[in-house]
Amino acid sequence: MKQKYLPINCNFYDELEILAMRGQSCLIRYWKDLKYQEQVEITDTITTIKIVDKAEYLLLKKGTPIRLDQLISVDGKELKGYCG
C-alpha cells in the first residue's frame, strides 16, 4: 500500500524549481524505503517536477523519478516540513 503524499514546504519546492532551471547536476538524498529507513544518495540533474497520481515527482536526467515527500536533501539543502 502506498503512503499518502505529503506536499513539501513551499520554499523547498521553489529551490527545486531553481535547480531545474539551472540544469546543473546536484547531490540528492532521499528515502528509498521509509519502512526500513533506507536512504539513497545520487548525483543527477533535475529536469522538471511533475504531478503523477496526485503526488509530485522530481524528474531526473539519468535516474528514476523521486517523490518529493521522500527527499531528505538536495544540493546541500535539507527538506524541513510539509504543507497542509
pLDDT digits (tens, 9 = 90+) for 5-52: 999 999 999 999 999 999 999 999 999 876 778 899 999 999 999 999
- Give percent of the chain with pLDDT exceeding 70: 92
CA distance 58 to 63: 10
Question: Cβ distance 29 to 71 under 8 Å?
Answer: yes
**Which residue do the cell numbers 531526473 mark?**
60
**How many domains would you assign to the chain?**
1
pTM over 0.85: yes
**Residue ranges making up the domain that contains 17:** 10-69
Residue 81 lies in a domain: no
pLDDT digits (tens, 9 = 90+) for 68-81: 999 999 999 999 87
| Sheet order of strands, 77-78 included | 66-67, 55-60, 38-52, 25-33, 71-74, 77-78
Residue 61 counted as domain residue: yes
Residue 79 lies inside a defined structural domain of this protein: no
∠ CA 74-37-13, nearest 5°, is 25
Say if 24 falls within a structural domain: yes
Whether 74 is covered by a domain: the verdict is no
84 in a structural domain: no
Whether 2 is covered by a domain: the verdict is no
Cell numbers describing residue 83: 504543507
In a domain, 55, yes or no: yes
